[in-house]
């Protein structure tokens, strides 16, 4: 019996797959638990439309991430860090502070979890941090840190 899976089923397939399974397994386990539906023409058409919609949404998200990456590449965020005598600083700059500075200075919202700081920022100077916006899109953000 052909079934369209609505959820991932271990050792059968992933969500959206069209699989051939035994009729008893389908009628007694898969269909009652709403893990899948019978592969009728109407259900196949619905699956096709859902996949097209998901592809369209994924494409839009990729384009939006690429546009934001182009904007981020042009940005230089200015930040201040508390400093003491001899150029020593207190604490370091975190991804949360960088995300807040970008929102304040440029009005762009960046999730702090997407900002990857390679080395800890504990001194004044220019730094480059990586912003992972999408699995296929990353951008470099310049951070200018000044001691106050």
What is the structure's pLDDT at 87? 64
The C-alpha torsion from 38 through 42 and 47 to 48, rounded to 10°, is: 140
Q: Is the dihedral of CA 81, 84, 86, 92 positive or negative?
A: negative
pLDDT-based confidence at residue 18 (cuts at 50, 70, 90):
very high
Query: How does residue 120 score in pLDDT terms, banded at 50, 70 and 90?
Result: confident
pLDDT value, residue 122: 84
Q: Compute φ and ψ for 37, nearest 5 degrees.
A: -130, 160
Q: What percent of the chain has pLDDT over 70?
A: 98
DSSP 29: I
How high is the pLDDT of residue 123?
83
Q: Pairing state of beta strands 2-5 and 137-147? A: unpaired
Under the banding of pLDDT at 50, 70 and 90, the label for residue 100 is very high
**122-147 average pLDDT score:** 89
Centroid of chain to Cα 135: 7
Pairing between strand 2-5 and 18-20? antiparallel
pLDDT of residue 34 exceeding 90, the answer is yes
What is the reported pTM? 0.69
Cα–Cα distance measured from residue 1 to residue 133, given in angstroms and rounded to the nearest whole number: 42
Looking at residue 13, its pLDDT comes to 93
């Amino acid at each position: 019996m052909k079934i369209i899976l609505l959820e991932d089923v271990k050792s059968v397939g992933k969500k959206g797959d069209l699989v051939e399974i035994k009729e008893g397994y389908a009628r007694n386990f898969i269909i009652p638990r709403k893990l899948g539906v019978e592969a009728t023409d109407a259900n196949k058409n619905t699956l096709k439309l859902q996949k097209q919609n998901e592809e369209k949404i994924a494409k839009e998200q990729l384009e939006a991430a690429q546009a934001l990456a182009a904007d981020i590449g042009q940005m230089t965020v200015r930040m201040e860090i508390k400093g003491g005598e001899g150029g020593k600083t207190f604490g370091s700059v975190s991804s949360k502070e960088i995300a807040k500075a970008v929102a304040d200075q440029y009005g762009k919202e960046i999730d702090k979890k997407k900002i990857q700081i390679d080395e800890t920022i504990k001194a004044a100077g220019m730094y480059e941090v990586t912003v992972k916006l999408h699995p296929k899109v990353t951008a470099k953000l310049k951070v200018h840190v000044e001691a106050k």
